Amino acid sequence: MRIFKFFAMKMKTFKKIIIILALILTPAFFEGCGNNTKQDAELTQNGKDNRSLSDLEEIQEKGKLVVVTDYNSTSYFIYRGQPMGYQYQMLQELATYLDLRLEVKVSNDLEDSFNNLNQGDIDLIAINLTVTADRMDKVTFTSPHTQTRQVLVQRMPANYKKMNASQLTDSLIRNQLDLAGKTIHVQKGSAYAKRLESLSNEIGAAIDIVEVPVEAEQLIHMVARGEIDYTVSDENVARVNKSYFPFLDVSTAISFNQKLAWAVRKGSVDLKKEIDTWLDDFRTTRRYAVIYNKYFDNQQSVSIVKSDYYALGSGKISKYDDAIKRESERIGWDWRLVSSMVYQESRFNPNAVSWAGAYGLMQLMPRTGNRFGVGRKSSPEAQIRAGISFIKWLDNRFDNEIPDRDERTKFVLASYNVGKGHVDDARRLAEKYGDDPNIWDDNVGKWLLNKSQPNYYHDPVVKYGYARGIETYNYVKQVINRYEHYKNIIDSDIVTVQLVP
């Protein structure tokens, strides 16, 4: 009996061994463990994890957040050479929070913006989008950044200053029933058109709704100029524009308060979550209040819009545009890029003098100024001519070495700021340590940064010693970034604003 039990136990043990061996020898077992399986090889092919990245991870891998906004006196504009605007400043804050570079595109065509978002050309639509059920089928909205209602924009009578309150009320549309039969121009694809359609059904009478591919603020200006009779706008934008045009009336509401938000692609779950987390907190801060009041409750807005240097209206960047255009054309450079340099150098102040002795609009050092025939007392035009001649001189030095014009421009900018010798040192360091000496970003720019460290500025290939590379690195980045903003606004397809006296 004991012998039988012994053999029975042995048989159970043997069966267990057989089962374990069978599991081990199955393909599934090998696919489920180990580091050299086909599945793992596919996941790590070429040293990269090929598993799908989340929407936010893809953006972080690119290192930049690509957004579209609209250009007007509240969202995004250029004033005295500097990009400004409610949406722009909010986006700067968001990009800082996400630790991403901000790339701004402009469009006043809502349908194009929705299409570009869903095609993956942009990551975020950052305008005053009214949250509606129809739009929720196209995009996903972030938390609202503000609330407002829609109002009718109309002109007051020519003699409105002589009217009492009752007479003025009688001369204006105050009852939504009175919109029957009226022609109202609104931005194509906007929530204003949908609201007017609903209102037409509610009052049981036709409203002639004309949708045009023109941004809402530009339509307000057309009302002011008498080109159209009525339009609809968000109340906060309408009130800002009333400060420019006191004879406009914006007191007739056609909707209740509505949420205004940004939009991401459907499926951009992580990006939306990060934006919502940031936005829900940021809206409670004093910083947000300052930004909002700066653009929607600021009496100085009138002087900004009437200024010759409000680029959306005037097409100008500075009082020196003509000279910069003329001299830039002489060397084949875009005048907007040179204007960005001048802003960076002197903020367009011809009397600026740096701690190092650089002077004037172009911040030329005395030795360089002498070489090109100017001094501190030279006219602004002469300073511009000399500075642009110096740019051309530098460009010629890199012409045969760096054939790509966009790359060469960055080397010229860096050399203008820190001197060609230091840039040549950085190129030699790049070549020595295996980077491309003809590419700025992540290559030569990186090595110029390293020239502030002893183990690099004492390197045998370095001839000009220590350089505070961070200043030049930031100089190139800031000039190029501002240039992109200038290209967004200046000489683009914008209906310029003609202010009514």
Give catalytic residues, as residue numbers. 345
Edge-to-edge strands, sheet with 183-187: 208-212, 183-187, 230-234, 150-155, 248-253
Per residue, the 3-state secondary structure of 423-473, as one string, reads HHHHHHHHHHCCCCCCCHHHHHHHHHHHCCCHHHHCCCCCCCCCCCHHHHH
Q: Do 70 and 127 form a contact (C-beta atoms < 8 A)?
A: yes
- 128: nearest Cα among 58, 198, 73: 73
At 124 the three-state DSSP class reads strand
Q: For residue 258, is it left (φ>0), alpha (ψ between -120 and 50) or beta? A: beta
Q: For residue 126, is it left (φ>0), alpha (ψ between -120 and 50) or beta? A: beta
φ, ψ dihedrals at 253, nearest 5°:
-80, 145
Dist CA 325 CA 462 (whole Å): 37
Query: Which position has the token pair 């996941």?
Result: 43
Dist CA 207 CA 185 (whole Å): 11
Q: Do 264 and 123 form a contact (C-beta atoms < 8 A)?
A: yes
Residue 64, Cβ density class (10 Å: 0-12 exposed, 13-18 middle, ≥19 buried): middle
At 242 the three-state DSSP class reads helix
Residues with Cβ within 8 Å of 450's Cβ and at least 6 positions away in sequence, in order, are 426, 429, 456, 469
